[in-house]
């Protein structure tokens, strides 16, 4: 199983060192030599995806010499309204309790020109399992409201054959994060096809949705795009998936695997309500503080726990949960490998 974060982040976490220590520039440069390459891709039009954000180290993180956006980026995410960003759990588990070391870059296609916003809260889905990648979702709360949010899907995900667009910053042929946002168009693959013996042989759970080009391959997300969004193509786009994992990149039958947002709308809604709502701006495409398109049944005030046994920061001692925590957060012991850069697309 291959996470779709950069190998930089995967290797950083594997060191077991405190994050302040692993932010030292020499360590960062050494880890970046292991980053995989991106193949193909298409530049996104300026301003076409205002919700797309970069998860990155803060400029003042201890020991960082390369303070550019390219040097600090490790995952993607999506603005969903007010102060909130939706991303993948495997991008965010290490942020819990260390928010001061990280930032979210928004408003642009150029990693080096994005505006940084600080993070003051991190919620990881209580059912996240870092071995199976089930429930690979996390929410980040920013210190201020940010424009550009995108509405989210309701109760029903796009069906097989429907088209989708995925955007992100991935790893280039030189082993470095790409400076400019890229896009690719793929289609939704049925759960049955993605779970058959020629594909993932039963590994796809109900919290996942697969995207790719059936019978062909050649287009996919890959290294560096974890947590980024998949949106419906055509009409008014809505966010329905978060980049999660896959085997290889753009291989026929080995589709990209994404978190299926429709499955966790109640959890998202509950966390946002308990965490202060969307603020004055409201949710994109809605007239209230509820998640756009969500059933509004979030369990505000219910309790839950952060994964990996990390105590939540003092400002959010309870995490509402619509999906009970299940399984254990096992470590793949080197069996996982990151992916995530846009493949194909033009």
User: In this structure, what are the phi and psi dihedrals at residue 257, rounded to the nearest 5 degrees?
Assistant: -110, 130
For residue range 24-37, list pLDDT tens digits in order.
344 334 333 333 33
Give the Cα separation of 65 and 260 in Å (integer): 37
The active-site residue, picked from 2, 54, 130, 136, is: 136
- Would you say residue 222 lies in a domain? yes
For residue range 172-217, list pLDDT tens digits in order.
555 567 899 988 888 999 999 999 998 899 999 999 999 988 765 4
Q: How far is CA 187 from the centre of its chain?
A: 19
Q: Is 60 a catalytic residue?
A: no
In contact, 130 and 270? CB cutoff 8 Å: no
Number of helices followed by number of strands (H, E) in the chain = 7, 14
CATH classification of the domain holding 142: 2.40.10.10
State residue 182's pLDDT score.
85
- Would you say residue 328 lies in a domain? no
Q: How would you class 315 by CB atoms within 10 Å of its CB: exposed for 0-12, middle for 13-18, buried for 19 or more?
A: exposed
Residue where the block lists tokens 């600090």: 72
The active-site residue, picked from 157, 221, 226, 338, is: 226
For residue range 90-102, list pLDDT tens digits in order.
999 999 999 999 9
State residue 184's pLDDT score.
84
Please enumerate in sequence order all residues whose Cβ is within 8 A of that of 258, keeping only pairs 6 or more positions apart, or say none. 208, 209, 210, 211, 230, 241, 242, 243, 244
208 three-class SS: strand
- Would you say residue 141 lies in a domain? yes
pTM, two decimals, is 0.75
- Would you say residue 330 lies in a domain? no
- Would you say residue 134 lies in a domain? yes
Identify the domain containing residue 180 by its residue range. 1-323+337-346
In contact, 291 and 94? CB cutoff 8 Å: no
- Would you say residue 272 lies in a domain? yes
Tally the domains of the chain. 1
Give the torsion sign (CA, 79, 292, 325, 231).
negative
Q: Is 78 a catalytic residue?
A: no
State residue 180's pLDDT score.
92
Give the torsion sign (CA, 298, 301, 305, 311).
positive
In contact, 147 and 281? CB cutoff 8 Å: yes
Residue 86 has pLDDT above 80, yes or no: yes
Give the residue, 321 or 286, on which the prediction is more confident.
286
Residue 261 has pLDDT above 70, yes or no: yes
Give the residue, 221 or 59, on which the prediction is more confident.
59
Q: Is 286 a catalytic residue?
A: no
Percentage of residues of the chain with pLDDT beyond 70: 63
DSSP 269-280: HHHHHHTT-SGG
Which residues lie across from 140 on neighbouring strands?
85, 122
Give the residue, 172 or 68, on which the prediction is more confident.
68
- Would you say residue 223 lies in a domain? yes
For residue range 129-183, list pLDDT tens digits in order.
999 999 999 999 999 999 999 999 999 999 999 999 988 887 655 556 789 998 8
CA angle 56, 60, 63 (to 5 degrees): 95
- Would you say residue 332 lies in a domain? no
Tell me the average pLDDT across 116-135: 96
State residue 342's pLDDT score.
42
Residue 314 has pLDDT above 90, yes or no: no
State residue 226's pLDDT score.
86
Q: Read off the pLDDT band of 336 (50, 70, 90).
A: very low
Give the residue, 331 or 9, on which the prediction is more confident.
9
The active-site residue, picked from 2, 90, 94, 316, is: 90
């Amino acid at each position: 199983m291959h996470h779709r974060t950069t190998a930089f982040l995967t290797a950083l976490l594997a060191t077991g060192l405190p994050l302040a220590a692993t932010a030292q520039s020499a360590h960062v440069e050494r880890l970046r030599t292991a980053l995989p390459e991106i193949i193909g891709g298409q530049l996104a039009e300026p301003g076409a995806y205002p919700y797309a954000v970069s998860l990155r180290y803060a400029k003042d993180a201890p020991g960082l010499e390369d303070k550019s956006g390219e040097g600090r980026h490790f995952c993607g995410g999506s603005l969903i309204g007010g102060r909130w960003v939706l991303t993948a759990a495997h991008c965010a588990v290490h942020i819990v309790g260390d928010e001061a070391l990280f930032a979210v870059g928004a408003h642009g296609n150029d990693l080096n020109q994005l505006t940084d916003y600080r993070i003051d809260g991190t919620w990881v889905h209580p059912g996240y399992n870092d071995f199976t990648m089930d429930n690979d979702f996390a929410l980040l709360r920013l210190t201020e409201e940010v424009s550009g949010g995108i509405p989210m899907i309701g109760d029903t995900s796009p069906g097989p054959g429907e088209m989708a667009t995925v955007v992100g910053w991935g790893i280039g042929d030189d082993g470095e994060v790409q400076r400019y946002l890229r896009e690719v168009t793929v289609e939704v693959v049925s759960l049955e096809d993605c779970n058959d013996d020629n594909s993932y042989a039963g590994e796809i759970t109900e919290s996942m949705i697969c995207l790719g080009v059936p019978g062909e391959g050649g287009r996919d997300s890959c290294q560096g795009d974890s947590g980024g969004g998949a949106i419906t193509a055509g009409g008014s786009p809505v966010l329905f998936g978060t980049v999660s994992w896959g085997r290889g990149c753009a291989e026929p039958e080995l589709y990209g695997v994404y978190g299926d947002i429709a499955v966790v709308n109640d959890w998202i809604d509950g966390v946002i309500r308990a965490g202060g709502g969307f603020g004055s701006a409201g949710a994109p495409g809605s007239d209230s503080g509820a998640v756009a398109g969500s059933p509004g049944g979030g369990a505000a005030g219910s309790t839950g726990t952060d994964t990996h046994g990390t105590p939540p920061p003092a400002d959010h001692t309870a995490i509402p949960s619509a999906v009970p925590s299940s399984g254990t957060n096992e470590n793949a012991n080197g069996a996982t490998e990151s992916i995530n850069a846009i493949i194909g697309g033009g």
